[in-house]
Amino acid sequence: MSDTPVLQYSFLAPILIVLGGAVIGVLLEAFAAAKRRAVLQLTLTLGTLFIAFLSLLRIRNLTSAKAAMGSVMIDGPTILMQGTILLIAFFAVMIIGDVDNFTAQAS
């Protein structure tokens, strides 16, 4: 007999949202017009990170939980690390997405 897997999707939601955004980003890269691609990618990435952070805020008051049959544990330090990674990624994408050529103006 096999046991059916028990997945706590609410606990896995921040991870799944980022992975889903990455898949949509690859599809945008493949099928979007070149002129609109940068704006679409930036909007998608920032939106994905923001939604994942909101999803993380929903589960922040947990003490400890098994999310995927014991292979993923969600507890305070995990939520802190995921939140830190999402915030750093959000600001990094904002810096990378800046298209202003300020170094050419200095010379």
Distances (CA, A) of 37 to 57, 71, 92: 30, 37, 19
- Residue 107 is predicted with a pLDDT of 55
Residue pointed to by tokens 């830190």: 84
Contact between 8 and 63 (Cβ < 8 Å): no
Rounded to whole angstroms, the Cα distance separating 20 from 22 reads: 5
**Tens place of pLDDT for every residue, the chain, 107 residues?**
567 888 888 889 999 999 999 999 999 999 999 999 999 999 999 999 999 999 999 998 877 788 888 788 888 899 999 999 999 999 999 999 887 766 656 55
Burial class of residue 89 (count of CB atoms within 10 Å of its CB; 0-12, 13-18, 19+): middle
Helix intervals (H) in 32-98: 34-58, 76-96
- Residue 66 is predicted with a pLDDT of 81
* DSSP β-bridge partners for residue 74: 65
Enter the pTM of the model.
Answer: 0.85
- Residue 98 is predicted with a pLDDT of 81
- Residue 61 is predicted with a pLDDT of 85
